[in-house]
């Protein structure tokens, strides 16, 4: 053996283990950041070299690694330092971090090595390399060194995949269960390789696929990959028509006075040694994107790369197109979770191999593309909760971006019209200096905002007949009389309107009129949401679905009443308010499920093909539609009274953001905020878009009750099967250890719980929370380390630590 290295495994047990470097690999570059194959028990796993190791003590036998998966390290030292920092933050192994952020193909151990032998190419598996004789291994190592020996995935060529072409409802008879099941599967998952489809359904789906293909509902082709010129091949983005960008964002017109002052302040900070952070607090339409693009241009001129992040896929696509238009000579890389695995892998490899500066654009995960030493990182709409990942590997993108900018000497910009309260508090204290854009760019003016009493609504017939087919009961319409009248007038003038209802589906509750009960998901004990276009009842928490119409599971009755409204039913309801021929578009997770469909909906609305756009928070920020003169928030009370200390902040941010979609052209805009309690002082803050006034009140409340930014807040989440009696024993132990550890930690550390979560049962598992408030994070981690030790490994009880949670439910 010629040396030893520590290797982090990409899969369970995710441990960092020591391996020996065999003699036939002496002289090869086996440096930190290189992916390798290593033996573990009877299997062979993929991992990454983290560091060189000293020789083990006498008598300790170390296994040799099998073979490198590349000739040069994929990741550099700065990137590995970020991995170590994130692993320490989340109290996990570096292998767990790498196992989550590396594309699937780069974590794969099922590979094939090919090398010439007797005038032909011979394929070898990793097992064959492990069992090779010393002479054969030395010969192969020599071929590897000169690039003759190659490695590739174990698959055979490009894999074929299925794509859904049509949104529901589908022209399929109800009895065709296999066809419906496949359509639902593709609708929820998007493009799917045939091997995955076959594995899920466990049988030959060829006849079903052919039948659906003949109906024009599905299409079979190769998985999205990379074009021959090495550029991202993103069919959804390329084929979809592009909504126009705001002229003030991408034009070469002179900067406004405020933009010029902001550039004078920010430009010297680009590529700053030790890093710098700035908050760009700009009202909607103030030209923040223009600022980002000008800074990106200067950063590229200085030979440094740029990372531009948006909270949603649609906004990332807009930003990507703006980069291609404004910086045509720059190498732009788009990356987000909705792209196919092949495209994401190609983006990762391009970023790692880039020798010239590049511009990375994407959603949260694009921050992990291994661009070397970025000089500028931008988080647009930095207040958005989507920058925090809570499932699997938990991380806050702002914290990771801060680490990268400080470690690699770059400028981090946090941009928003309604910054996170904690960010604004840091700016007020001078920790994060603030740049203000207080006026809209161009000639448009902020819209007029009115508060509308939802009590002044009209009655409308129910969407379902009453018991026995009798007269349907009346229900309350979603829009108040004043809102309905304003909408009709707007459409009559040839202008456009946006209506926000932040609840998808047709109705959030389906009520059985025969037994007077609500149809609930048996695994969550929460109401099913009725999705009319799919003729399904869907649990929005565990994903369980049920066919509808169908008899009530409790009484066998067939008379149901939808209660409440969702974006789907609101779009249908507007047909009775608007003139005949008016086209209403809908934008939510259901209508935009197919790749590229979001861009199609937005482009149709931008072109005037649809006059009204109804949707959820997906339409609230970042979009520019000059002909929109009316915005209606149909139920502004929704979400404000949730058991979450951020509920008021999120409501304020959502309403101010969606109000910013109105009046962005030459015609003044108007915003109608519908509420059941118009006398609440909160609405005056919204009406005046008084961010400073709202923040001052919100900070006073949080300081009184000890919530962030005046404490460090964490949630210990515990769950176990609902029929597992041992879970309560472990839960009791968790609570006891937490309270004892908190008492020993001293003043300032408080533990609340365990208590049932606000959603106490999801997916058949009982859920409990323990809230920890502390003056610092180390104390929180000490507490969690002690409590994790009392939870049996490999059992049914799951425990996790969520630092600074954005979801308290």
Q: Tell whether the model's pLDDT for residue 467 goes beyond 50.
A: no
How confident is residue 393, by pLDDT bands cut at 50, 70 and 90?
confident
Task: Summarize pLDDT for 578-600 with one digit per residue, the tens.
Answer: 988 899 999 998 888 877 788 88
Q: Any idea which of 164-168, 502-506, 614-618 has the lowest mean pLDDT? A: 164-168
Task: Summarize pLDDT for 704-718 with one digit per residue, the tens.
Answer: 999 999 999 999 999
Rounded CA separation 47/211 (Å):
43
How many helical (H) and strand (E) elements, i.e. helices and strands, does the chain have?
Answer: 23, 38
- The answer to whether 738 and 730 are in contact (CB under 8 A) is no
The DSSP secondary-structure symbol of 506 reads S
From start to end of 183-254, where are the E strands? 192-193, 218-222
The pLDDT value recorded for residue 89 is 92
Burial class (CB in 10 A: 0-12, 13-18, 19+), 652: buried
The pLDDT value recorded for residue 745 is 86
The pLDDT value recorded for residue 466 is 41
Report, as an integer, the average pLDDT of 262-280: 92
51 CB-near residues (< 8 Å, 6+ apart) = 5, 6, 32
- The answer to whether 411 and 272 are in contact (CB under 8 A) is yes
Report, as an integer, the average pLDDT of 537-542: 92
Q: Considering only CA atoms, which of 698, 719, 720, 703 is closest in space to residue 773?
A: 703
Token representation of residue 81: 């330092």
Rounded CA separation 378/473 (Å):
52
> 90 has which bridge partners?
none
Rounded CA separation 202/206 (Å):
12
Q: Tell whether the model's pLDDT for residue 108 goes beyond 50.
A: yes
- The answer to whether 355 and 241 are in contact (CB under 8 A) is no
Backbone angles phi, psi at 786, to 5 degrees: -70, -40
Report, as an integer, the average pLDDT of 539-551: 88
How confident is residue 513, by pLDDT bands cut at 50, 70 and 90?
very high
Burial class (CB in 10 A: 0-12, 13-18, 19+), 12: exposed
The pLDDT value recorded for residue 659 is 93
Task: Summarize pLDDT for 317-336 with one digit per residue, the tens.
Answer: 889 999 999 999 899 999 99
Report, as an integer, the average pLDDT of 517-523: 93
Q: Any idea which of 457-471, 532-546, 675-689, 733-747 has the lowest mean pLDDT? A: 457-471
DSSP 546-573: EESS---TTT----EEEES--HHHHHHH
The pLDDT value recorded for residue 761 is 96
Q: Which ranges constitute the DSSP H helices of 360-396?
A: none
Q: Tell whether the model's pLDDT for residue 170 goes beyond 90.
A: no
- The answer to whether 808 and 708 are in contact (CB under 8 A) is no
Task: Summarize pLDDT for 728-743 with one digit per residue, the tens.
Answer: 999 999 999 999 999 9
Q: Tell whether the model's pLDDT for residue 3 goes beyond 70.
A: yes
Q: Tell whether the model's pLDDT for residue 173 goes beyond 70.
A: yes
Percent of the chain with pLDDT over 90: 65
Q: Which long-range contacts (CB under 8 A, 24 or more apart) does 224-229 make?
A: 224/161, 224/191, 224/339, 224/340, 224/342, 224/343, 225/158, 225/340, 225/342, 225/343, 225/346, 226/342, 226/343, 226/346
How confident is residue 252, by pLDDT bands cut at 50, 70 and 90?
low
Q: Tell whether the model's pLDDT for residue 391 goes beyond 90.
A: no
Q: Any idea which of 306-320, 393-407, 412-426, 585-599 has the lowest mean pLDDT? A: 585-599
Burial class (CB in 10 A: 0-12, 13-18, 19+), 643: exposed
Percent of the chain with pLDDT over 70: 93
Q: Tell whether the model's pLDDT for residue 384 goes beyond 60.
A: yes
Rounded CA separation 26/29 (Å):
8
Strand duo 434-437 + 276-282: pairing: parallel
Q: Tell whether the model's pLDDT for residue 359 goes beyond 50.
A: yes
Report, as an integer, the average pLDDT of 327-354: 90
The pLDDT value recorded for residue 57 is 83
Question: Residue 596, Cα to own-chain centre: how many angstroms?
Answer: 17
> How many Cα atoms occupy the beta-carbon half-sphere of 622 within 13 Å?
25
Structure-token match 């309905």, residue found? 484
Rounded CA separation 574/584 (Å):
8
Rounded CA separation 411/267 (Å):
9
Q: Tell whether the model's pLDDT for residue 253 goes beyond 80.
A: no
**pTM exceeds 0.85, yes or no:** yes
The pLDDT value recorded for residue 32 is 96
Task: Summarize pLDDT for 488-499 with one digit per residue, the tens.
Answer: 999 999 999 999
Backbone angles phi, psi at 634, to 5 degrees: -70, -30
Q: Tell whether the model's pLDDT for residue 615 goes beyond 60.
A: yes
Q: Considering only CA atoms, which of 113, 183, 188, 195 is closest in space to residue 154?
A: 113
Q: Tell whether the model's pLDDT for residue 235 goes beyond 60.
A: no
Tell me the average pLDDT of the chain.
88
Q: Tell whether the model's pLDDT for residue 465 goes beyond 50.
A: no
Report, as an integer, the average pLDDT of 644-654: 95
Structure-token match 């399929």, residue found? 172
Q: Any idea which of 174-183, 488-497, 579-588, 752-761 has the lowest mean pLDDT? A: 174-183
Q: Which ranges constitute the DSSP H helices of 91-133?
A: 94-101, 126-130
The pLDDT value recorded for residue 747 is 80
How confident is residue 231, by pLDDT bands cut at 50, 70 and 90?
very low
Rounded CA separation 751/787 (Å):
12
The pLDDT value recorded for residue 229 is 37
Q: Tell whether the model's pLDDT for residue 245 goes beyond 80.
A: no
Report, as an integer, the average pLDDT of 757-769: 95
Rounded CA separation 38/100 (Å):
19
The pLDDT value recorded for residue 227 is 42
The pLDDT value recorded for residue 409 is 92
Structure-token match 């190419």, residue found? 121
How confident is residue 1, by pLDDT bands cut at 50, 70 and 90?
low
- The answer to whether 805 and 713 are in contact (CB under 8 A) is yes
- The answer to whether 499 and 614 are in contact (CB under 8 A) is yes
The pLDDT value recorded for residue 474 is 54
Structure-token match 């290295």, residue found? 5
Q: How many CB atoms lie within 10 A of CB 231?
A: 14
From start to end of 172-250, where are the E strands? 192-193, 218-222
The pLDDT value recorded for residue 468 is 42
> How many Cα atoms occupy the beta-carbon half-sphere of 458 within 13 Å?
13
- The answer to whether 656 and 286 are in contact (CB under 8 A) is no
Structure-token match 């001129």, residue found? 301
Q: Which value, to the nearest 10 degrees, does the dihedral of the CA atoms of residues 339, 342, 348, 350 take?
A: -110
Q: Considering only CA atoms, which of 412, 407, 411 is closest in space to residue 78?
A: 407
> 415 has which bridge partners?
280, 380
Rounded CA separation 335/237 (Å):
12
Q: Considering only CA atoms, which of 308, 309, 275, 278 is closest in space to residue 407?
A: 275
Rounded CA separation 358/336 (Å):
16
How confident is residue 240, by pLDDT bands cut at 50, 70 and 90?
very low
Report, as an integer, the average pLDDT of 212-217: 89
Encode burial over 745-774: b for 16+ CB neighbours within 10 A, e otherwise. beeebebebbeebeebbbbbbbbbbbbbbb
């Amino acid at each position: 053996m010629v040396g030893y290295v520590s290797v982090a495994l990409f899969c369970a047990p995710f441990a960092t283990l020591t391996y020996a470097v065999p003699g036939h690999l002496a002289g090869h570059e086996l440096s930190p950041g290189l992916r390798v194959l290593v033996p573990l028990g009877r299997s062979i796993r993929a991992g990454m070299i983290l560091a060189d190791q000293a020789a083990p003590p006498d008598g300790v036998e170390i296994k040799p690694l099998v073979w490198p998966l590349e000739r040069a390290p994929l990741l550099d030292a700065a990137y590995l330092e970020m991995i170590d920092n994130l692993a320490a933050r989340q109290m996990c192994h570096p292998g767990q971090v790498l196992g989550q952020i590396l594309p699937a193909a780069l974590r794969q151990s099922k590979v094939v090595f090919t090398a010439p032998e007797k005038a032909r190419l011979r394929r070898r598996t990793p097992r064959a390399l492990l069992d090779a004789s010393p002479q054969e291994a030395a010969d192969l190592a020599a071929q590897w060194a000169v690039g003759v020996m190659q490695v590739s995935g174990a698959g055979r060529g490009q894999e074929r995949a299925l794509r859904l072409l049509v949104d529901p409802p589908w022209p399929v008879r109800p009895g065709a269960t296999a066809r419906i099941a496949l359509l639902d599967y593709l609708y929820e998952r998007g493009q799917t390789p045939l091997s995955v489809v076959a594995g899920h359904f466990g049988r030959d789906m060829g006849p079903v696929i052919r039948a659906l293909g003949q109906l024009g509902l599905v299409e079979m082709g190769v998985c999205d990959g990379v074009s021959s010129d090495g550029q991202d091949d993103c069919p959804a983005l390329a084929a979809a028509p592009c909504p126009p960008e705001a002229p003030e964002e991408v034009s070469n017109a002179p900067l406004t006075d405020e933009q010029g002052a902001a550039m004078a302040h920010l430009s010297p900070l680009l590529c700053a040694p030790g890093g710098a952070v700035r908050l760009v607090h700009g009202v909607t339409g103030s030209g923040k994107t223009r600022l980002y693009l000008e800074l990106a241009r200067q950063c590229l001129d200085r030979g440094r790369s740029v990372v531009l992040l948006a909270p949603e896929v649609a906004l990332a696509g807009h930003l990507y197109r703006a980069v291609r238009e404004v910086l045509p000579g720059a190498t732009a890389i788009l990356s987000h979770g909705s792209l196919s695995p092949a495209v994401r892998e190609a983006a990762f490899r391009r970023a790692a191999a880039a020798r010239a500066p590049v511009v990375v654009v994407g959603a949260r995960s694009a921050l992990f593309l291994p661009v070397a030493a970025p000089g500028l990182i931008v988080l647009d709409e930095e207040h958005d909760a989507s920058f925090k990942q809570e499932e699997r590997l938990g991380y806050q993108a702002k914290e990771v971006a801060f680490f990268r900018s400080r470690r690699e000497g770059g400028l981090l910009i946090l941009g928003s019209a309604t910054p996170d309260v904690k960010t604004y508090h840091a700016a007020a204290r001078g920790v994060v200096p603030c740049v203000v854009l207080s006026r809209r760019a161009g000639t448009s003016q902020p819209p007029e905002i009115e508060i509308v009493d939802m009590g002044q609504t009209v009655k409308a017939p129910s969407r379902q007949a009453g018991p026995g087919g009798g007269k349907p009961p009346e229900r309350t319409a979603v829009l108040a009389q004043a809102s309905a009248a304003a909408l009709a007038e707007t459409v009559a003038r040839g202008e456009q309107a946006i209506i926000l209802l932040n609840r998808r589906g047709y109705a959030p509750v389906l009520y059985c009129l025969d037994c007077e009960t609500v149809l609930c998901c048996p695994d969550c004990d929460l109401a099913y949401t009725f999705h009319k276009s799919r003729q399904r009842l869907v649990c929005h928490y565990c994903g369980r679905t049920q066919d509808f119409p169908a008899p009530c599971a409790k009484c066998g009755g067939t008379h149901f009443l939808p209660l409440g409204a969702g974006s789907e039913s609101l779009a249908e309801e507007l047909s009775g308010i608007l003139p005949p021929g008016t086209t209403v578009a809908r934008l939510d997770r259901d209508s935009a499920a197919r790749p590229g469909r979001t861009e199609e909906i937005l482009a149709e609305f931008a072109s005037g093909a649809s006059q009204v756009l109804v949707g959820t928070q997906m339409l609230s920020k970042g979009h520019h539609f000059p002909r929109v003169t009316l915005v209606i928030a149909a139920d502004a009370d929704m979400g404000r009274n949730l058991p979450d200390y951020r509920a008021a902040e999120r409501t304020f941010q959502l309403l101010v953001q969606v109000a910013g979609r109105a009046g962005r052209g030459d015609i003044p805009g108007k915003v109608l905020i519908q509420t059941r309690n118009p006398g609440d002082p909160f609405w005056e803050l919204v009406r005046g878009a008084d961010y400073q006034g709202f923040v001052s009140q919100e900070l006073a409340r949080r300081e009184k009750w000890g919530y962030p930014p005046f404490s460090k807040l964490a949630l210990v989440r515990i769950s176990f099967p609902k029929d597992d009696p041992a879970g309560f024993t472990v839960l009791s132990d968790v609570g006891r250890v937490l309270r004892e550890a908190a008492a020993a930690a001293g003043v300032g550390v408080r533990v609340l719980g365990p208590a049932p979560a606000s959603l106490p049962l999801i997916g058949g598992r009982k859920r409990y929370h323990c809230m920890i408030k502390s003056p610092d994070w180390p104390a929180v981690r000490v507490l969690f380390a002690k409590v994790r030790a009392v939870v049996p490994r490999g059992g049914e009880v799951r425990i996790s630590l969520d630092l600074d949670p954005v979801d308290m439910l």
